Amino acid sequence: MAQYRKRPWTFYVLAAFFTLFVLFLYGPMLAIYILSFQGPTGGLTFPLNGMSLHWFGALFEQQRTGDFAGSFTRSVLLALLVMICTVTFSVMAGLAFRRRFFGSTAIFYMAVASLVMPGLFLSLGIGLIFRVIGVPTNWYASALGAQLTWTLPFGLLIMFAVLSRFSRSYEEAARDLGATNRQTLQYIVLPILFPGLIAVALFGFTLSYDEFPRTLLTVGPGNTLPLEIYAMTTTVTSPALYALGTVTTVVSFVAIVLSLGSIAVIQWRRGGRSRK
């Protein structure tokens, strides 16, 4: 093996900088995860006063820490709804945009423009409109719509990336072999695109799960989890807040592992076990 050349000094500077960045990124989170296991008599800061799961239990006592169970349920249900809508519409739109049709450019820019709209104002506007037309704002109606303005363009952009590697000849081959349009979609297009669809679903789910500004003024009477956590930062002065942080991180983490894991399994089955 060829000998490595001596590394230049810039390598050490950049490596040090990167280390600092990683510490900044994960250090505070790590502190929160550790403090969430604070003993029953411990406070909001180090040192740990024993170790316990006490504060995780405290989460479910509504009076003390706010409506954790309710907001968590709402958030997960909303994220699932957003995920389903995002996948469905992004796939349909992505397939449609492969062809140029009348107004396709205008529609594309309109869809993508909502990515740069300030979320809080969008939320304000949607809340206002709902009030004007006399429909009460609610997490499963106005908040769902507000979040979709954010996740749909994201999903569409991911679909563009996914479809750019999808050859039209698969569809032609299916048609050549006598498949109807529906059969081509069901047996060929969707299964081949499936790993990409998981990516869209993951984005839809996580973007919704931690969305704050677009939900703030559209959520109606029951808070989603991020709003609830924000409220709790001002009222709750116990490590239960940290326990909440740990629980929500675990949920996000599970979602990511499930998605990436299933993509990896699919690629492994398709990519040839003997090669690579």
Partner 1 sequence: MAQSGGIELANVTKRFGDTLAIDNVSVTVPPGTYCCLLGPSGCGKTTLLRMIAGHEEPTSGDVLIDGQSVLGLPPVKRGTAMMFQSYALFPHLTCLDNVAFNLKVHGVAKAPRRKQAHEMLERVQMDGFADRVPAELSGGQQQRIALARSLITNPKVLLLDEPLSALDEFLRLQMRGNLRQMQKEFGITFVHVTHTQMEAIAVADLVVVMDHGQIDQADSARGVYDAPRTTYVARFIGGQNVLGGKVVEVESGAALLEDARGNRFTVPAGDTAPNVGETRFLSIRRDRIEMEKLADPSATGSDAVNSVVGKVWMTEYQGTWVKVSIVLADGEEFVANISDGTFFANPAREGDTVVARWSAEAVHPLEHRESNFDTSRIGMHT
Query: What's the min distance (Å) between Cβ of 273 and partner 1?
Result: 7
Query: What's the min distance (Å) between Cβ of 98 and partner 1?
Result: 16
Q: Which stretch binds partner 1 (CB under 8 A): 3-11, 35-43, 96-104, 177-185?
A: 177-185
Residues 6+ apart with CB under 8 A from 54: 38, 39, 40
Query: What's the min distance (Å) between Cβ of 187 and partner 1?
Result: 7
| Closest to 228 in 3D by CA, of 79, 82, 124, 75 | 75
Helical H segments across 133-189, by residue range: 144-164, 168-176, 181-183
Nearer to partner 1, 8 or 178 (CB): 178
3-state helix, strand, coil in the chain (%, to 5): 70, 0, 25
CA-to-CA distance for 83 and 115, rounded, in angstroms?
17
- Number of residues binding to partner 1, judged by CB under 8 A: 26
Is residue 100 a contact residue for partner 1 (CB under 8 A)?
no
Is residue 269 a contact residue for partner 1 (CB under 8 A)?
yes
Is residue 271 a contact residue for partner 1 (CB under 8 A)?
yes
Query: What's the min distance (Å) between Cβ of 271 and partner 1?
Result: 5
143: DSSP letter: I
| Closest to 136 in 3D by CA, of 220, 19, 24 | 220
CA-to-CA distance for 49 and 38, rounded, in angstroms?
6
117 to 156: interface string for partner 1, x by CB under 8 A:
----------------------------------------
Candidate list 175, 210, 252, 263; residue touching partner 1; CB under 8 A: 175
Nearer to partner 1, 76 or 266 (CB): 266
Is residue 178 a contact residue for partner 1 (CB under 8 A)?
yes
Q: How many residues does the chain have?
A: 276
8: DSSP letter: P
Query: What's the min distance (Å) between Cβ of 99 and partner 1?
Result: 14
Query: What's the min distance (Å) between Cβ of 259 and partner 1?
Result: 18
CA-to-CA distance for 142 and 224, rounded, in angstroms?
13
Is residue 61 a contact residue for partner 1 (CB under 8 A)?
no
Are the beta carbons of 87 and 200 closer than 8 angstroms? yes
Query: Which residues 191-230 are close enough to bind partner 1 by CB under 8 A?
Result: 191-192, 194
| Closest to 143 in 3D by CA, of 116, 113, 122, 114 | 122
Candidate list 6, 100, 132, 176; residue touching partner 1; CB under 8 A: 176
Residues at the contact surface with partner 1, assessed by CB under 8 A? 167, 169-170, 172-180, 183, 187-188, 191-192, 194, 266, 269-275
